[in-house]
Amino acid sequence: NAGVTQTPKFRILKIGQSMTLQCTQDMNHNYMYWYRQDPGMGLKLIYYSVGAGITDKGEVPNGYNVSRSTTEDFPLRLELAAPSQTSVYFCASSYSLASGRSTDTQYFGPGTRLTVL
Amino acid sequence: EDKVVQSPLSLVVHEGDTVTLNCSYEVTNFRSLLWYKQEKKAPTFLFMLTSSGIEKKSGRLSSILDKKELFSILNITATQTGDSAVYLCAVEAKSAGGTSYGKLTFGQGTILTVHP
């Protein structure tokens, strides 16, 4: 079991470039999340998904897009990179037994450190 | 808007000391409060608290929730250098319909440094 994997580990982008951060989990979790963590701060939720084909905005969705075509994958897309998107991005997943209730543990990936210059 | 505030922001102690980390919150329709440990990479789960006054314990770590005063504490006794990390507090709220989907609001974290 690899858990939650993220690629790439590091990336430097120029302003206006686009990229996709990959996230895959092999635990058959139905819920998946994207967070960003700015230096010295806690995590902020960008987008989340409760199952394949279902996504919704979190606290800071502007400048990002997501899709969930399979249970395993939840990529995060940056279309026009801006310096304000310099951050560490974490993907997480959890399992819910019933609709609308999450379990107590979100499993986090190792993170992607993104710098936009 | 849901809000989580942790204190202190940083703490430096020596091995063997006992520390108390604080987390206060303002959230509509509270469901749970969670503590995570972050050591330069992904956060790892420590505790989830849903009921007031019931202490959760794991080794030298323990935590308790006060839903009336809207805060939680995380205690670490006999600290070790391996306890050095950022400790994150997060709350999960329910929507008006009772669903939550695990969406968490995090505090800014407490940086704990334990010197030998």
Among all residues of chain A, which has the CA nearest to that of B31? A101
Least confident stretch, A8-12, A113-117, B1-5, B20-24: B1-5
Residue of B27, B65, B106, B108 to mutate when probing chain A, most A C-beta within 10 A: B106
pLDDT tens by residue, B39-98:
978 899 999 999 888 899 999 999 999 999 999 999 999 999 999 999 999 999 887 677
Considering only CB atoms, which chain A residues are within 8 Å of B48? 104-105
Q: What pLDDT is stored for residue B57 in this prediction?
A: 95
Residue A104 forms contact with B (CB below 8 Å):
yes
pLDDT-derived band of residue B2, with 50, 70 and 90 as boundaries? confident
pLDDT-derived band of residue A95, with 50, 70 and 90 as boundaries? confident
Q: Which DSSP symbol is given to B48?
A: E
pLDDT tens by residue, A15-35:
999 999 999 999 989 899 999
pLDDT-derived band of residue B107, with 50, 70 and 90 as boundaries? very high
Average pLDDT over residues B22-39: 93
Considering only CB atoms, which chain B residues are within 8 Å of A105? 45, 48
Query: Any idea which residue has 């409060």 for tokens?
Result: B33
Considering only CB atoms, which chain A residues are within 8 Å of B108? 40-42
